[in-house]
Copies of this chain bind each other. A is one copy, B any other.
């Protein structure tokens, strides 16, 4: 593998890592779960999430850039929804794995 290809691979890995980073925060994960159940406005999410509106908007921006969600203006509201059904499968598989490994994960202190 030549240096240029190696660099490409590293850039790709950073993209994949960044993608998973989208789901690596409890609030963002919860937002994804909620939106998998149906579209919501920012206000509705704020009501459901016990975090500030600013945080919700920031998390949504993160999820949007990562391709998880998309948004549309609806009057003075902005409605967010899942962009891609593949996320449903990813989340479902992860939940299954976690429930099989919950004891271990809860003890994870590294990194």
> What residues of chain B lie closer than 8 Å to A93, measured between beta carbons?
86, 89-90
Report yes or no: A108 in contact with B24, Cβ–Cβ below 8 A: no
* Chain A contact patch, size range: 35 or more
Q: Type the 1/0 row for A85-106, where 1 means its CB is closer than 8 Å to any CB of B.
A: 0110111011111101110111
* Among candidates B16, B61, B100, B108, residue contacting A65 with C-beta atoms closer than 8 Å: B108
Which residues of chain A (58-111) have a CB below 8 Å from chain B? Answer: 58-59, 61-62, 64-67, 84, 86-87, 89-91, 93-98, 100-102, 104-111
Report yes or no: B13 in contact with A111, Cβ–Cβ below 8 A: no
Which residues of chain A (2-27) have a CB below 8 Å from chain B? Answer: 10, 13-21, 23-27
Task: Please give the distance in Å from A19's CB to the nearest CB on chain B.
Answer: 5
Task: Please give the distance in Å from A94's CB to the nearest CB on chain B.
Answer: 6
A13-B30, A18-B108, A84-B97 are known; give 16 further A-B pairs, CB within 8 A. Answer: A13-B26, A13-B29, A14-B26, A16-B29, A16-B91, A16-B95, A17-B29, A19-B97, A19-B105, A20-B20, A20-B21, A61-B110, A62-B111, A67-B101, A86-B93, A90-B94
